[in-house]
Chain A
Amino acid sequence: MSEQNTTALDSEISTWRERQVDAWRRRIAFLKQEPMGLAGILMMSAIILVAIFAPVIAPYEPTETDYGNSLTPPNAEHPLGTDSAGRDIFSQLVYGARPALQIGLLSAISVAFVGMNVGLIAGYYGGYVDDVLMRLVDFAYGIPFTPFIIVLVALWEPSKWTIVGAIALLLWRQTARVVRSNVLNLKEKPFVKSARTIGASDRRIIYRHIAPNVLPLVFLYGSFAIAWAILTEASISYLGFGDPTAVTWGQMLQSAQQSQALARDAWWWFTMPGMAIMLTVISAFLIGRGYEEQLNPELQEK
């Protein structure tokens, strides 16, 4: 690279970086005045904090059994009551945040990564590449989601990684399809044509020029993937395919249902994990929703 090019390149990079920084700043600024998105971010960060500082927050070990006071309703000692083995519900909820977020975030990242790349490549190259990838998407769409997870968990090991793996295998389909249609019209835009005329490589065009415009969309579907992953973990555990040694909200619900919490009027045991799941899932949806408003001008306040 001759001297002259590098400086051009550097300037390009710096401008690109500035563009990114200010793009993100704009997004954050926008989210600030978009109440739903803001609420979502606050809730999600609160949950992340709880997950990180779980040992500090939780008064007891989540698996610490204490048969003396099993099934006690919420009281001073146990803010959210205890379950049939005398374990503190609040501590379990706090520790449960970790696997929930791990599954959620990992699924979101994998869905976003796979979906975006498939969408970008299919949309950009078109032709038979596009056909092959889109048939793959149709194949993925043809597979019913929860049954697929159950079969995988039954054949592999019942652990959160299996759930993340299964989600990564299937849920990218929506992102891919949306990104592809977006790339199709981005491809026609002048800035892409001009990039091609100055001899930029395909890879550069895709990842330097097109990708940033697609990132908000990917972020949106990533947030939906978080919600979906957490819900799936809960359902899988309920059906008895969860990993019993793990302390997750889904597993709490499963043992609550199994020990007939509702029949013994231990309402706190059954409702609290459900609430925790709902809170996390809503915050993911709200972030996604707040984002969607920003993405889609028609939705602006008229």
Chain B
Amino acid sequence: MTDQRSDNRIQRRNFLKKAGGAGATVTLASFAGCAGGDDDGDGEGGDGDTETVASGGSETVQMEGFKVPAESVLPQSELDDAQAIPELSLIVNPPKAQPDDHETSMFVTKEIAKLGLDTTVETMTWPAQSSAVWDGTDWDMTFWQMVGRPSRLDPDEFSVQMGHSSFQEGYNYYFWEDDEYDQKVMAQREELDQATREQLMKECQQIFHDRGPSTFLMYPHKTIPWNSDRWEGVVELNGMGAANMLTFSQMEPMGDRKELNIAYDQQLQALNPFDQSGEIDMIQHRMIWDRLAWPDESALPQPRLAEEFNWKDETTLEVPIKQGHTFHDGEPVTAEDVKYSYDIHRNYSTYFSGPVEPVNEITVVDDHTVEFSFDYHFAPFPMAAMGRIAIIPKHKWTDIIENRMEVENPMLYQEDTPLGSGPMEFVHWRSSEEVRLERFDDHFDPIAYEARNSRIIPSVQTMLTQLENGTLDMLANYRGDKDVLKDRVEANDSLTMASTTTVGFKQISYNNDRPPFHIDGFRRAMNHRFDKETIVNDIYSGWGSIAPNTLVSSALKNWHNDELERYEFSLQAAANELVKAGFVWEESDGMLYMPADNTEVGN
């Protein structure tokens, strides 16, 4: 599964620096000229100079835009080469794939350079970036984004996989390591009591925030407009937005129009029970194949195909399933099918092999009861696995795996007509045009509308027009200009719109294994160089809420640590962090040098 999917949204905000500090209107949070250029000193917007100079009373030296104690400024002769800081590069996708990310990178690198550093933006296509950052170590800073998924409504996945030091081969690609964090994040996993688990989670976030291994920019918003004259029962799920599984199973047609026409601007990648990649797949996936469990409005797992699920003891989970339920071809859904559906992910490497890893044995108790036994009490299992793994027809897939599959991985096999037991049946898939599903009438929780047409429409303008003229009922993702959407929705009373903060995030992470990023103080200084208001409100035109440095999105109200005190966007504060960490500046050219005693990782 990849999160940095090079989202083929060709959107671009042409937002280039404004020459000089001339009167900026209120909306524009003006930001300073480039490093070498005509810097207008303290007059910058956010950079208040109220910050006291951490110098312990000795007289200070005025650098460009900040003051430092005299002893922190040395002539070239007293500095040795080991202390020199090479040019720091920030990797980002090319503008054609991610125009706003590229724009932000250009803006941020200029800000960081003001501390006396050489910075550059290195554009790489997604494959190049992923092999450089993922598999390699030869990088300084990189732009990164993770997309909100139902499984991530439980903070465990991000906090562990991107925080725990043992995952440095996987998601923790920026080599972040903190023993206290490791201990606490694993403790919360096995914690039975919800309140203690939340407290542990907040402490982890505080550690992460203080040591600042990366800088979080924003939690993107998901804005969904729909035709409220024709449809009711739309659920705005926190962290996911209005287009989620609950909405599509509970919404009801009010008028005579019984078919839901919904537009996406992304291609449908695949309709395979074991692979859940793009956004559009997720919804079709959940409509065609049932799951044992289902997240409710507060993102806690509720029984779905399972009648209920309860921990018989620390490591065994008994799951009775609904009786008399059939697949779309009429075959009954049995415990055999459930066991088979989970065993596949243990035998082959698929999208869901991770969550089932702690399971050591699945036993069929009787025709409609299954028992999972674990190596250790794995609290997130209901959400991470039971809420995600598709229940597939054993009678069809045994035949496919034995003799139909040319490639050794079921994830790569595409059924002509995907067969599941979910609330909707597959009708047709005209790639890059439309996917049509129709209601499966004898489902245990039948939906109120007859069919669902997912249209793939790349042009934002066409989407809007068709929403207004009634051809479409809902837009699953709208990446156009926010004000245009707002005007249109206000002008048309049959349309309503919901904008929700998601659990995904955009961040810039530092290679913690590479000088000077191995020094906490340097990373904290970096964090002081981000003018998040301008980035989120102007470059991303308000399509997200500003993020403090934590993996847990503000959308997850009960998990998010509200007391995190954001890094102030201030050149002086950054300089103070550097002084405290022992960094020095060269007298003549003002370039920053590492502390003499701390130029290597680990000493």
Contacts and interface: CB of A to CB of B under 8 A. Distances in A.
Do A and B touch (CB < 8 Å)? yes
A158 B102 CA distance: 14
B96 A158 contact: yes
Contacts of A64: 18-19
Tier of interface size on chain B: 20 to 34
A83 B481 CA distance: 14
Contact of B10 (A67, A83, A84, A258): A258
Nearest to A155: B125
Contacts of B16: 63, 65
A167 to B, nearest CB: 20
Contacts of A61: 19
Given A240-B10, A240-B96, A244-B12, A260 B481 contact: yes
A260 B96 contact: no
Contact of A263 (B19, B28, B99, B464): B464
Interface string B1-43: 0000000001111111011000001011000000000000000
A68 interface: yes
A87 B481 CA distance: 17
Contact of A68 (B25, B96, B464, B481): B25
B95 interface: yes
A258 B11 contact: yes
A61 B102 CA distance: 22
A259 B480 CA distance: 7
Contacts of A254: 12
A94 B142 CA distance: 37
A95 to B, nearest CB: 13
A260 B484 contact: yes
Contacts of B484: 260, 263-264
B12 to A, nearest CB: 5
Secondary structure call for the A interface: loop
Given A260-B480, A263-B461, A263-B464, A85 B96 contact: no
Interface in B340-355: none
Contacts, number: 54
B498 interface: no
Nearest to A61: B19
A69 B400 CA distance: 62
B312 to A, nearest CB: 56
Contacts of B102: 244
Nearest to B30: A67
Contact of B14 (A68, A244, A264): A244
Interface string B449-465: 00000000000110010
A241 B96 contact: yes
A150 to B, nearest CB: 11
Contacts of B590: none
Interface string A137-162: 00000000000000000000010000
Interface string A223-243: 000000000000000011110
Given A67-B25, A258-B12, A244 B481 contact: no
Nearest to B103: A244
B78 to A, nearest CB: 40
Nearest to B95: A244
A65 B18 contact: yes
A120 B525 CA distance: 66
Nearest to A244: B95
Interface string B233-245: 0000000000000
26 contacts: A61-B19, A63-B14, A64-B18, A64-B19, A65-B15, A67-B28, A68-B25, A84-B481, A87-B14, A158-B94, A239-B10, A240-B10, A240-B12, A241-B96, A244-B12, A244-B96, A254-B12, A255-B14, A258-B11, A259-B13, A260-B460, A260-B461, A260-B464, A260-B484, A263-B461, A264-B484
Interface of B: 10-16, 18-19, 25, 27-28, 94-96, 99, 102, 460-461, 464, 480-481, 484
Interface of A: 61, 63-65, 67-68, 83-85, 87, 158, 239-242, 244, 254-255, 257-260, 262-264
Given A241-B96, A263-B464, 15 more contacts: A63-B14, A63-B16, A65-B18, A67-B25, A85-B13, A158-B94, A158-B96, A240-B10, A240-B96, A244-B12, A244-B14, A254-B12, A258-B10, A258-B11, A264-B481
